[in-house]
Amino acid sequence: MLVLLPRLLLILALLSVAVHCAVAETQLRVAGDLYTQVNSEGSQVPPVVENDLALTQLSNLLAEENVGEALQLATRVVSLDPDNAIARRMLGYQLVPGPDGTEHWCGGYAALMYERGNLWHEEFGWIKAGDRDRWEAGERPWGKKWITPTEDGEHHATIARGWTVRTDHFHVTTNHSREAAVDLATRLETLHQIWRQQFGEFDVSARELQARLDGKQPTGYRRKPFKVIYHRTRDQYNAALLRRQPQIAKTLGIYFDRERETHFFAGEDQDPGTIYHEAVHQFFFESRKANKNFARLANAWATEGVACYFESLARGERNGDSSMYTLGGAEAGRLPAARHRRLVDNYYVPLEELSSLGMLELQRRKDLPRLYSQSAGLATFFMEYEGGKYRPAFRELLAAIYAGRDEPTTLEAATGVSFETLDEQYREFLALTKSLQQKTNHEEHKDHKVGID
C-alpha cells in the first residue's frame, strides 16, 4: 500500500481548490467506470504535495464523520489518477480482468459478471463475451436460438416480460429496448455517485471508509439493487399505475416506497429532472434503514426540497473533461422559480410554519407547486449558503427525518440559528443568486410539476 501513497497524495492538491462558488453551485466529479465512461483528460494535474497531508486530510474528514467530503476527495483523486488504488477502493472499486485480459476498475457485481465470461457493452449491457459479434451484427439470443431485433421486441412487448439490465446499484426493467434500459441505468449510476458525495453517510459509515483506507476491499455493489421500472410510453405508464396512484397522469415519474420501486417512462415527455428527483427519494429511503412513516408529522418540505435540489444536476464539461457536474446552479432546476416567488411575488411560508407540516398536510396545500419551488430554494440555500455552512445541519435534519426522530424544531437545533434569521438569510441568498443571472426578464417558472409521493 505504501508505494501507492505518492499517487494518492498527488491528488491532495485538489483539496485546496474551492469547489463551492461564493454564492451557489457545487461542482462535483464523477469517477470514470464501466457505466459512466467519463474521462478527465483535460484536467490540470496539480502539483505534487506531501503524502502525509493527503492521508491526513482523508483521515480527518472521516474522524469528523464527514463521509460525503471524503468521497468527494476520493472521487477527485480518481478523476486525476484513475489507477489510484486507495481512492478506488474507498469508492468501492476493485481491479478485475475482463474477458479480453484487460483490467477494469469495477464494483462487485461487475466483477462477478466478468468472472462468468460476460462483458459490459455500452449499448446492450451485460452480454456473453463470445456473443459480441452476433449482437453487433443485429442478432439477439432467445433461449438456445438467435432471433432478429424485431422478434426480440415482440417477446418483450409488455413490462411483465420486459428486458432487464443490472448494474452495480440498479436493476432496470423495460419494455422499450435494452439500449434504453442501459442508458437509464448509466444515468442513474452517475446520479448515485453525485448523491453519495453529498449525502454519503446514508450510504456508508465513516468507520467503513476508514477500514477501506486501511486496506479493506469493499464489495462495492448493492445485493438488493434499486428497482426501476421503465415504461415504453407515457400512456403505458399511466395505465399500469392508475390503480396504485389515481393522480398518476399528473406525474412525470414516481417512487413507491412500500414496493421500493421507481417508475419512469421513455419518450418526448420524459423529464430528466424528475428522474433525478424520484431516484433521490429512493436513495434516501433505501440506503439505510428508514422509518416507514418518515416526515409524517413534520419537516416534509425537506424531503421534497432535497429531491428538487438534485433536479438541478447538470453537466459541467469543460476543456474536454467530461467528469464534471454541477448542483444548485443559479439558473438550474427550480431555483429561478423559487427566486421569483420570494423576491418578486413575495410568496413565502416562514420556516417555522413550513417545518410543522407533515407529508399529508403538505400535499393537501392549495399552494403546493409554489411550496415545492420554495422547498427547492430552501434546500439549495441549506446546501450552498456561504460555502455550505449549513450543509452539516441539513444532513443532520435529513438523517433525523428518515430515522423518524425529528421534531418541528430540529432544524433550529441543528443550525443553532433561529427560524427568523434563517428566513432572512434565505432571502439574502436568493438576492445574491439573482445578481448572477444573465436573463433577468426571462425567469422560467418551473414549479408547475409536482411529485405526488
Length of the chain in terms of residues written: 453
Name the residue among 326, 69, 304 with its Cα closest to residue 200: 69
Least distance CB 363 / Zn ion (angstroms): 10
Least distance CB 278 / Zn ion (angstroms): 7
Q: How many residues bind Zn ion (CB under 5 A)?
A: 3
- Which among 18-26, 92-100, 306-314, 413-421 is the span making contact with Zn ion, rule CB under 5 A? 306-314
Least distance CB 375 / Zn ion (angstroms): 9
Name the residue among 392, 373, 375, 372 with its Cα closest to residue 383: 392
C-alpha cell at 292: 416507514
Task: Give residues 414-453 in contact with Zn ion (rule: CB under 5 A).
Answer: 451
Q: Is 77 or 280 the residue whose CB approaches Zn ion more closely?
A: 280
Q: Which amino acid is at 375?
A: S
Cα 46 from chain centre: 27
Q: Is 114 or 265 the residue whose CB approaches Zn ion more closely?
A: 265
Least distance CB 67 / Zn ion (angstroms): 24
Q: Which amino acid is at 178?
A: R
Q: Is 248 or 432 the residue whose CB approaches Zn ion more closely?
A: 248
Q: Is 38 or 308 the residue whose CB approaches Zn ion more closely?
A: 308
Q: Is 307 or 354 the residue whose CB approaches Zn ion more closely?
A: 307
Judged by CB under 5 A, the residue of 70, 307, 324, 338 near Zn ion is: 307
For the chain, what is the radius of gyration of the CA atoms? 22
Q: Is 109 or 294 the residue whose CB approaches Zn ion more closely?
A: 294
C-alpha cell at 423: 428566513
Q: Is 377 or 451 the residue whose CB approaches Zn ion more closely?
A: 451
Least distance CB 450 / Zn ion (angstroms): 8
Residue pair 24/329 in contact by the 8 Å Cβ criterion: yes
Dihedral sign for Cα 62, 66, 71, 77, please. Answer: negative
DSSP string, 208-274: HHHHHHTT-----S-SSPEEEEEESSHHHHHHHHTTT-TTGGG-S-EEETTTTEEEEE-STT--HHH
Q: Name the burial class of residue 116, with classes exposed (0-12), middle (13-18) and buried (19+) by CB atoms within 10 angstroms of its CB.
A: exposed
The residue whose Cβ lies closest to Zn ion is 451
Interface with Zn ion, residue 369, by CB under 5 A: no
Task: Give residues 245-304 in contact with Zn ion (rule: CB under 5 A).
Answer: 304
Least distance CB 376 / Zn ion (angstroms): 10
- Contacts with Zn ion, residue ranges (CB under 5 A): 304, 307, 451
